[in-house]
Amino acid sequence: MNQLLQKYPEEVQQILAKYPPEFKRSAVMPLLYLAQREANYVPRQALQDIAEILEISTTDVASIVGFYTLYYDEPGGRYRIQVCTDLPCALRGADRFLQELCERLGIEEGGTTPDGLFTVEAVKCLAACHRAPVFQVQGDGEIVYHENQSVELAMAWIEEVRARVAAKEDRS
Amino acid sequence: MTTTPHLLLRHREIANLDQLEVYLQHGGFEAFKKVVTQMQPAQVIDEVKASGLRGRGGAGFPTGIKWSFLPNNLWPHYVVCNADESEPGTFKDREILEGNPFQLLEGVMIASYAVQANLAYIYLRGEFWQIAHRLDEKIAELEKAGFLGENLFGTPYSLQLRTHLGAGAYICGEETALLESLEGKLGQPRLRPPFPAVVGLYGKPTVINNVETLTNLPLILEKGAAWYKSMGTERSPGVKIFSLSGCVNRPGNYELPLGTTFRELIYTHGGGVPEGRQVRGIMPAGASSAIISITEDRLLDTPMDYESVAAIGSQLGSASVIVLDDSVDFAWLVSKTVNFFKHESCGKCTPCREGTFWMNRLAQRIINGRATPEDISLLETVANQIAGKCLCALGEFSVMAVTTGIRQFRSDFEHHVNGSGSTATGG
């Protein structure tokens, strides 16, 4: 039973259609994004599902997860807040921003808030050097940029998300 | 001198240029239609050769010549647009992709016709998730409007475009690593030769061009090579987007003719350095630059073209100009760049994998005040053992700031060794 194929039949076909049929291995990266959409990490079962769809080994699929930084093989926060701390951003206070944000959330860098909602981590260049401090948020199957940030702006967004999640849980 | 109106960042003057109807109102896809209906592929290649356009991704290789390497007895041909922009200090392609996407797409389409590719991929870094989804919508619009698909404009020529998202790996900007990644493998560079022009995507002849390079094409084909050559310098013709960052008052992208001086970029356009500060160093090609030490004021008058920047011991690269003023600790700076390359090393070749690891440990030890004076020389030695020994340019890039930093700013390193062991900070 291929759970990924069963869950996203149309998406899988759309992804496969992007590449010549004899080179369908090319679809491994988009399929991993698809597998990661729901839980913000790639569940073990998905490695097998993808391997089966592409007719490659599970090890091959797992090696892609290990090599590329935007895939995760274990759960983290529902939203990953990823702050660029490379040179141009650091010259505009990115290290300090990251440290203060972690302090405000009461976590270590790389840690996750007790409510399981946010993981905060340093990442490499995001191509937004002129709008530092900058972070991207990986979650809900998307990656969204937040530029020209301050700790206050970031905290305001975090509280907004917390309120939104709480409201959703109340309804369900 | 500035290029007003802009040629590449045209969205700065034209509102909603990312909408197809607006792009069409401003002459959009006329150049593509002209090449497909009126020009032979070889004529397109000749025109681009004559324009002197050089690759804007960093290497500066003449674009038309790169195209002419594709053999005509091996098919199919592929075109791949490199939108993996990941060099610390570079953010120009992103602005094109967001603000003027159709001009890029038209450029990809012109390049595809020139080498008779029927399928082209745009490889975007994974972080450009939103951009990729918008591009997919725009490609669908172009299919609907008849600019992509079968028998374009009633000719036998057919073309399809596809996007492909990477997933966070700087190395995939290296063109053979990009191809590996696009084929669904680890993004690790291939041994060359053979070059991608002969054995590229899926083992077939492939052209790989940077976003900015391709965005020049519609204008070159519309207005001609002579017009394009009237801008910039003789050997570096045309305009360039300079990504300005670091210690400047107005960081951002500035589209200027090649050959514009550092002084004009930093002071006229970038608003200068913070008050009371002076430019102490410049990294003209992002984190992979050889650092230019501004020991004399006249160095700021160096024209930013491929030859002039090389003549003062650095390289223009992708023109990602990081300005460093006299508040910056260059030992800290080197620890930052080395940490980047250590993280991004793909691990395939030993000098880079091991060398960046050890350079990172040494640089960290220095700025944490735990190093001995010999550690500075050791760091230099490790760098020299990496240089010239790697499979691709990443290894070379990783030592640039180290060797030029220690050579020109040695006192910054010695300060940590002889000092109180204080932890360095920047900015």
* Cross-chain residue pair B162–A18, CB shorter than 8 Å: yes
Question: Among all chains, which residue has been given the structure tokens 């797409």?
Answer: B105
Consecutive 10-residue averages of pLDDT for chain A (172 residues):
94 97 97 95 96 97 97 95 97 97 97 96 96 96 96 98 91 74
Q: Is A140 on the interface with B (CB under 8 A)?
A: no
Neighbouring residues of B236: CB distance < 8 A, sequence distance ≥ 6: B52, B54, B60, B258, B259, B305, B306, B307, B316
Question: What average pLDDT does the structure give for chain B?
Answer: 95
φ, ψ for residue B207, nearest 5 deg: -100, 130
Fold classification of B239-325 is Ubiquitin-like (UB roll) (3.10.20)
| Secondary-structure class of domain A79-171 per CATH | alpha beta
Cα separation of B404 and A157, whole Å? 42
Confidence at residue A168, expressed as pLDDT on a 0 to 100 scale: 87
Cα four-point dihedral sign B190, B198, B78, B211: positive
**In this predicted model, what pLDDT tens digit does every residue of B86-136 receive, in sequence order?**
999 999 999 999 999 999 999 999 999 999 999 999 999 999 999 999 999
Where in chain A do CATH 3.40.30.10 domains reside? 79-171
> How far, in Å, are A27, A69, B78, B344 from residue B170 at the CA level?
20, 10, 22, 6
Confidence at residue B3, expressed as pLDDT on a 0 to 100 scale: 55
Mean pLDDT of B209-221: 98
* Ordered alpha helix ranges (H), B100-196: 101-114, 129-144, 175-182
* Cross-chain residue pair A125–B164, CB shorter than 8 Å: no
ipTM above 0.85, yes or no: yes
Distance from CA of A156 to the nearest CA of B (A): 22
Distance between alpha carbon B392 and the CA centroid of its chain, in Å?
A: 16
Candidate CATH numbers 2.60.40, 3.40.109, 1.25.40, 1.10.10; the one for domain A3-67: 1.10.10
Q: Give yes or no for residue B2 having a pLDDT over 60.
A: no
Where in chain A do CATH 1.10.10 domains reside? 3-67
* Cross-chain residue pair B184–A28, CB shorter than 8 Å: yes
Mean pLDDT of B6-33: 97
**In this predicted model, what pLDDT tens digit does every residue of B128-178 receive, in sequence order?**
999 999 999 999 999 999 999 999 999 999 999 999 999 999 999 999 999
**In this predicted model, what pLDDT tens digit does every residue of A110-149 receive, in sequence order?**
999 999 999 999 999 999 999 999 999 999 999 999 999 9
Confidence at residue A170, expressed as pLDDT on a 0 to 100 scale: 82
| Contact yes or no for A10/A45 (Cβ under 8 A) | no
pTM (two decimals): 0.96
Q: Is A164 on the interface with B (CB under 8 A)?
A: no
- B143, burial (CB in 10 Å: exposed 0-12, middle 13-18, buried 19+): middle
Candidate CATH numbers 3.40.50.970, 3.40.50.2300, 1.10.10.10, 1.20.1440.230; the one for domain B330-417: 1.20.1440.230
**In this predicted model, what pLDDT tens digit does every residue of B41-91 receive, in sequence order?**
999 999 999 999 999 998 899 999 999 999 999 999 999 999 999 999 999
| Contact yes or no for A64/A28 (Cβ under 8 A) | yes
Residue B285: CB atoms within 10 A of its CB come to: 24
Residue A36: CB atoms within 10 A of its CB come to: 21
Nearest by Cα to B148 from B117, B123, B124: B117
The residues spanned by each domain of chain B are 10-229, 239-325, 330-417
φ, ψ for residue B121, nearest 5 deg: -115, 145
Structure token digits, residue A77: 């926060």
Q: Is A89 annotated as a binding residue?
A: yes
CATH superfamily of this structure's domain B10-229: NADH-ubiquinone oxidoreductase 51kDa subunit (3.40.50.11540)
